[in-house]
Amino acid sequence: MFKKILIANRGEIAVRVIRACREMDIATVAVFSEADRGALHVSKAGEAYCLGPAPARESYLNIEKIIATAKRSGAEAIHPGYGFLSENAAFARACGEAGIKFIGPSPSAMEVMGSKTRARQAVEKAGVPFVPGSSRGLSLAEAEAEAVRIGFPVMIKAAAGGGGKGMRMVRSASELKAAFETARSEAQRSFNDGEIYLEKLIENPRHIEIQVLGDEHGNLVYLGERECSVQRRHQKVMEEAPSAIVDEDMRRRMGEVAVQAAKSAGYTNAGTVEFLVDNDRKFYFLEMNTRLQVEHPVTEMVTGLDLVHLQLRIAAGEKLPFRQEDVRIRGHALECRVYAEDPDNNFFPSPGRITRLAQPSGPGIREDCGVYEGWVVPLDYDPMLSKLIVYAPDRASAIARMQRALDEYFVGGIKTNLALIRRILSDPDFVAARIDTGFLDRLLTGRNGAGQPSGELDEVAAISAAFFAMAAVHNGRDGDAPAASRQNASPAWKRAARSEALRNP
């Protein structure tokens, strides 16, 4: 086993990995930008080194500085977390060339699954079902012909896409040219790659993913599914395991297909195969994420497995300590992503000092947190503060437990999405598991006529607003950054990371 590991990330995932290393008696090295000098992960690690200024390109995306820091500190391996360089094949390759173990899949597996068109080609050869459409980039004329072949409506997608960038829905031939050109332009700006392909639009799908885990001795297993349909603009907000619509037979079939897809890329370590599921419960390959997912805790809760421990053991050359038939799904887990953002103001980030922090606890409650009271949330990175996870014997009990936990949760000095999470949990469609990828958009616009805030929630919102206003006055600021800065800053780190990955194939 490794004696020392560097964590090339920040926030809650860096803290999560540090804790796992401490349990395994592995020394830890944190890296940080100047904006993160006082961050929680810096104080939790055994050693910490500054990479440079706040911009991600000069710090968390700087491969040379991270490798040099690993060598300087004597770290034998690097855990990339998620985001930043976690799916960057050039980074994984640079680690290997420097004699440092990359805790994740091989660079070649990343390259196969990192492009949606290459991934489609790989799984097609393996016989994995995927959404009808093209398996390579198309010109406008080819896209028009493909749309006629598979039938409208269609989705135009960027091959290097993520987070909804370079994606457009087209319902008729008259809309296709403008949508194609807009998507291609956005893809080029966001990912430095204008490759565009087409898929048949699946109406009101559920987004369900399968966790896979493979060692370096040819053993590969699936660890059940996660329901990720509660999302806004293709960004997940809440996840749960298991899915309410997946029975044992469907879980087995999806799991076997996920393993088949992973094997087609020669995959090792932790990864996630994502599927769209239609109204007839038919599932189609969407993409593979070649890293640990944000939502991995719900899988840990229902399987009793520690995925970070297993990642480290796999990277150290150990075999998986169990077989597929040993995996059991028990109970139900929910995860809510807590963001420093204002849902009432177009979800703009809300940076600033956390003046008060009351965190939930009690039976079945877990919080993976990256902040503390007094910490100043920077504008430079993803606005996630923490992940609140609950476990209970069944879904109804898990929802009730999450509602109780949220009643204990308070973040002062900045705005958060906690009120929105409460609203989701009380929505009749969510409670009945009638959800799909359009659920949250319908809830936000009131199109489903359900889940509107009650008088009690209105009162809570008013009290919270008053508290935020007083805190802002007390701190001598208006509580928000200028709208223009907020608008431009939120996705910048993600665009930079993706562009960096594609710039260094």
- Which residues are tagged catalytic? 291
Distance CA 431, CA 278 (A): 20
Helix 418-426 to helix 395-407 angle, to the nearest 10 degrees? 150
Three-state DSSP string of 248-307: HHHHHHHHHHHHHHHHHCCCCEEEEEEEEECCCCCEEEEEEECCCCCCHHHHHHHHCCCH
The encoded tokens of residue 165 equal 């960038």
187, 168, 189: which is closest to 179 by C-alpha?
168
One-letter amino acid for residue 380 of the chain: D
326, 324, 335, 332: which is closest to 297 by C-alpha?
335
Angle at 32 between CA 30 and CA 36, to 5 degrees: 125
Largest CA distance in the chain: 62
The encoded tokens of residue 481 equal 């950054």
The encoded tokens of residue 51 equal 């990479």
Q: Is 459 exposed, middle or buried (0-12, 13-18, 19+ CB in 10 A)?
A: exposed
327, 135, 88, 93: which is closest to 212 by C-alpha?
327
- DSSP letter (8 states) at residue 496: H
- For 244-278, letters b (16+ CB in 10 Å) and e give eebeeebbeebbebbbbbbebbebbbbbbbbbbbe
CB-facing half-sphere around the CA of 414: CA atoms within 13 A: 30
47, 46, 50: which is closest to 58 by C-alpha?
50
Angle at 30 between CA 296 and CA 108, to 5 degrees: 55
Residues 6+ apart with CB under 8 A from 408: 358, 359, 360, 361, 362
294, 295, 277: which is closest to 286 by C-alpha?
277
**Contact (CB, 8 A) for 113 and 132:** no
Tokens 């007094």 found at: 374
How many other C-beta atoms can be found within 10 angstroms of the C-beta atom of residue 417?
Answer: 25
Tokens 């640990």 found at: 292
